[in-house]
Structure 1
Amino acid sequence: MSTDFQQARIALGLRLRELRTEGGLTGRQLAGALGWTQSKVSKLETGRQTATHDDLRAWAEAVERPEVASELSARLRAFETQSRSWRRQLAAGHRPVQDRLTVECERTSVTRVWEGALVPGLLQTADYARHIFEAYVGLHRSPRDVEDAVRARIRRQELLYRPGKRFHVLVWEAALRAQVCPPEVMAAQLDRLTGVMGISTLTLGVVPFESPLALPPANGFWVHDERLVIAEDWHAELWLDDADSIALYLRVWESLHRAAVHRPAAQQVIARCRRALDRP
């Protein structure tokens, strides 16, 4: 969990404790009034658990300060927009997450992408996407809506053919070799990458293993125009819209871009990855 996120959660917890003590209630009394366990009250006050908006409204009512509910919700929204846990995002399955990403892509004129471990969703085949979603369903123990998620991801790829859009995608060679699916699925995926290079809205760069790197090829991220960065980690997505963070990710992207090759050199890297699949 990011330090900024955790500090914001602790600050919210301190505010909740302040409201409880000002209301003359012990933690046990508040828990009883709300029908909660005392441990939930303690975890919320110490920043070890993230409150929901319903939790905050109930807290404000229980301490007889209903007017502060909007303040508490505003505090929560401020750090929710930065760190969106997969546990919460995937509570209703993977399809809603894909739909939210589509909305951001539709709003964006210029999209910059870096992926070091996987082929970006924007360029995935349905079979490749299916294997990725299956893996994450198992990891996060989320609802199994794999086919709906695959269809939503593939529909988003229609944006590649929309005039006025620009997609600048960078992929590390490791993503083209990672055995996250059967060899025949990976072969079709690599063929797809070669095929999309002719799309006028898309610039696809590959960072070969032998390319000198100024920075480590760390986690994947998307930069939407210069207004939003979405970066992935195992536990959460970061949605960053402050100028300093966006500028930082743009510098990272430019550094990786300098290490990338484009066609025909990119096609040669893809071809050697494709040939490697045929080796015993």
Structure 2
Amino acid sequence: MDDVRSELGRRLRARRRAGGLTGVELARLIGISQAQVSKVETGQARIDEDLVTAWISHTSDAPDADGPAVTALAADTQQFTSWPALHARGWEEHQQRYEDLERAASRILTFQNALVPGLLQTSRYTHYLMREGLGLDDDQAALAVAARLDRQALLYQPGSRVDVILTEAVLRHRLGGPGVMAEQLRHLADLSSLPTVSLRVIPADTAMPSRYGVSFDLVESADGAGTVVVELEGGEFREDRAEQLARYRARFAVYERAALGAEASRAVVEELTARMRADLFPS
């Protein structure tokens, strides 16, 4: 999807330039922001058929960028990328795709019902997931771990905002064993004290108003746009249409109302950390 989307963006940019328009001028003509024009042209945002049609009507043909060619390429852009396709590019590049999204974010909303989110993982927890969950070899896993940890610099940048909601099951599943998980829980408790991080937990015995949906990351930008990333069994799904983003925001709001407050959530994490340490080092 990213390669096709990048090529589409290149051709749309060529059309805009051939028409003698700036990004600001084109944005005004087709009713979107200049930032959104930039994201489309750099392959960072999906563009729907109506917007492609409007773009073509206000711009001029360029080499490899006539109207039919652009329309056909736009039809090839997909929202889903399989794990084999992602792995073929290298796992380090996959992590870079996340980092590029996160670096431009004004806020990140994360709900997880299965794993500790990547931005909050320890190196040993990540290594376990890469080796056992994805079957990467030691060299690939090491690159993936380093790339994922590099992303975490975001948590120490003033102005960043990462709101995370976890189900209690995420904290209790001993992925990698009690040693790996005890370290991970300690790390979670420490990160939850950062001003850039909000960590809240939904207890297992909560009377939920609805079932849990899929785990997801909603990466929002200052201009109101955003991208949802969902990791599925067969690959990664990304969505950036406004009406779909609204659904994920509404779902996140449901989880927010069900979750404990920040202090109570930290207390749950601390309690489970103590229990796992006791299992490791019985008195």
TM-score (norm 2): 0.69
Using the TM superposition, give the Cα deviation of residue 110 of structure 1 relative to its aligned residue in structure 2, in angstroms: 0.8
Paired position in structure 2 for 1:202: 197
Q: Aligned equivalents of 2:215 and 2:266: distance in 1?
A: 22
Paired position in structure 2 for 1:183: 178
The 8 Å contact of residues 198 and 262 in structure 2, kept in 1 or not, is answered as no
Paired position in structure 2 for 1:232: 231
In structure 2, what residue type is equivalent to 1:149? A
Give unpaired runs (5+ residues) of structure 2.
Answer: 1-65
The 8 Å contact of residues 215 and 256 in structure 1, kept in 2 or not, is answered as no
Q: Secondary structure at the match of 1:264?
A: helix
Paired position in structure 1 for 2:134: 137
What pairs up with 1:61-100 in 2 under 5 angstroms? 70-77=70-77, 80=78, 82-100=79-97
Q: Rg bigger for which structure?
A: 1
Paired position in structure 2 for 1:251: 250
TM-score (norm 1): 0.70
Paired position in structure 2 for 1:160: 155
Query: In the TM superposition, what whole-angstrom CA distance separates every residue of 1:15-43 from its partner, at most 9, and x where no partner exists?
Result: xxxxxxxxxxxxxxxxxxxxxxxxxxxxx
Q: Aligned equivalents of 1:160 and 1:184: distance in 2?
A: 24
Q: Aligned equivalents of 1:151 and 1:144: distance in 2?
A: 11
What pairs up with 1:5-44 in 2 under 5 angstroms? none
User: For the aligned residues, what is the CA RMSD?
Assistant: 2.2
Query: In the TM superposition, what whole-angstrom CA distance separates every residue of 1:151-207 from its partner, at most 9, and x where no partner exists?
Result: 011111000111221111111111111122121110010001111122111111111
Aligned: 1:116 with 2:122: no
Using the TM superposition, give the Cα deviation of residue 71 of structure 1 relative to its aligned residue in structure 2, in angstroms: 4.2
Using the TM superposition, give the Cα deviation of residue 85 of structure 1 relative to its aligned residue in structure 2, in angstroms: 1.5
Q: Aligned equivalents of 2:84 and 2:139: distance in 1?
A: 14
Query: In the TM superposition, what whole-angstrom CA distance separates every residue of 1:72-97 from its partner, at most 9, and x where no partner exists?
Result: 432112xx2x1121121111332111
Using the TM superposition, give the Cα deviation of residue 144 of structure 1 relative to its aligned residue in structure 2, in angstroms: 5.6
Q: Aligned equivalents of 1:161 and 1:171: distance in 2?
A: 21
The 8 Å contact of residues 107 and 162 in structure 2, kept in 1 or not, is answered as yes
Change (3 A) 1:142 1:89: farther
In structure 1, what residue type is equivalent to 2:154? L
Using the TM superposition, give the Cα deviation of residue 232 of structure 1 relative to its aligned residue in structure 2, in angstroms: 1.7
Give unpaired runs (5+ residues) of structure 1.
Answer: 1-66
The 8 Å contact of residues 207 and 261 in structure 1, kept in 2 or not, is answered as yes
The 8 Å contact of residues 170 and 204 in structure 1, kept in 2 or not, is answered as yes
The 8 Å contact of residues 228 and 246 in structure 1, kept in 2 or not, is answered as yes
Aligned pair partner of 1:217 in 212, 217, 220: 212
Q: Secondary structure at the match of 2:229?
A: strand
Using the TM superposition, give the Cα deviation of residue 272 of structure 1 relative to its aligned residue in structure 2, in angstroms: 3.1
In structure 2, what residue type is equivalent to 1:202? V
The 8 Å contact of residues 93 and 142 in structure 1, kept in 2 or not, is answered as no
Q: Aligned equivalents of 1:126 and 1:96: distance in 2?
A: 18
